[in-house]
Structure 1
Amino acid sequence: MTLWLTALHPFYASVTEISHDAGKKELQVSCRIFTDDLENTLKAQYKIPLDITHPANRKQVEGYISAYLSQHLVITLDGKNVPLHFIGYKIEEDAVWSFLEAENVPTPKKVQVKNNLLYERHATQTNMVHVLVGGERKSTKLDNPKEVAVMGF
């Protein structure tokens, strides 16, 4: 019975890891999103056929992922928006890991994360956010429609 209920109500979730490297003055970001959820979202938004796992044109797919993430994941450190540079993505089992970074980032005291990934597609979307600054790790869960988390360090 439980399996049957799970099939009717799939779980929609993403995980975003944000880590500040004080030595390099870098902000390193990774996002884990289920491949089918991200692929269907990009297809709907850009009105194109798309295969993330076996792309005909990987650079084009990277462009779509990068554009989508820039619209739905915004990081503000000590009141200043941080421009994130998309590095690339990899497929791991049933998920897409996307990687972003920002350079010349001093150690923040306050981190604000706006994360509404996949909210437009899934009313029950949950986005987990983990932030690591100065060896201190803080985590929160954003359930659609809540999209902003603020953490102090």
Structure 2
Amino acid sequence: MKKLSFIGIFVIVLFSICSWTHKFYVGIYQLNYASDKKMLQITTRIFVDDLNSALEKKFKKKFHLGEKNVGEDEVALMNKYIFENFRIAVNGKSESLDYRSYEMENNVIVGYYRITDIANIKTLACTNKVLFDFVTEQQNIIQTNVGGNKQNLLLTIDEPSGKLEF
């Protein structure tokens, strides 16, 4: 568990210092339960060049996420791709992500999502296949914080799903 926490911190540091290219394929997905709002707040961090390439491969058109000329249709297709490949079940019930916004941090696209009307969390199951169709070395790290209980999952093409109990 501590190893995954260290890996998560290490990857975040690498994201912030990485400028033009990267040789590793990691996405970070932070899930924070805000009990006072009965909401699961989700932040995604994905290298924009990899996401653009995966979207271009899937939708057979050029994408400009992270550039000034990005179109609303590109953001809608990005979310369609995220919704198809990133699934969350709370207490055994599959939930829909609600897209809020995104921003760029260097060459990383940071997406903000939420799931509302969550009274409590006993179990959290995630399936994350984002970018697995683009690069087989992709790893997706799920970092959760539920009532101060922090747990992590490392999801890969061989093991794209995991479940946590709180």
Q: TM-score, normalised by structure 1?
A: 0.90
Match of 2:74 in 1: 61
CA distance in 2, matches of 1:23, 1:52: 34
Preserved contact between residue 111 and residue 150 of structure 1 (Cα < 8 Å): yes
What amino acid is aligned across from residue 46 of structure 1 in structure 2? F
What amino acid is aligned across from residue 61 of structure 2 in structure 1? I
Match of 2:135 in 1: 122
> 1:10, CA displacement in angstroms?
2.2
> 1:91, CA displacement in angstroms?
0.7
Match of 1:76 in 2: 89
Q: CA RMSD in A?
A: 1.3
CA distance in 2, matches of 1:33, 1:72: 13
> 1:67, CA displacement in angstroms?
0.4
Match of 1:28 in 2: 41
CA distance in 1, matches of 2:35, 2:128: 24
CA distance in 1, matches of 2:134, 2:121: 32
> 1:102, CA displacement in angstroms?
1.3
Matches within 5 A, 1:76-95: 76-95=89-108
For residue 28 of structure 2, the aligned residue among 6, 12, 15 is 15
> 1:57, CA displacement in angstroms?
4.5
What amino acid is aligned across from residue 68 of structure 1 in structure 2? Y
3-state SS in 1 of match to 2:76: helix
CA distance in 2, matches of 1:107, 1:62: 31
1:145 aligns with 2:158: yes
CA distance in 2, matches of 1:148, 1:138: 15
Q: Deviations over 1:91-130 (max 9, x none)?
A: 1011001111111111110000011110011111111001
Q: Percent identity?
A: 22
Unaligned 5+ residue runs, structure 2? 1-21
Preserved contact between residue 107 and residue 133 of structure 1 (Cα < 8 Å): no
CA distance in 2, matches of 1:46, 1:31: 21
> 1:61, CA displacement in angstroms?
2.0
Unaligned 5+ residue runs, structure 1? 1-8
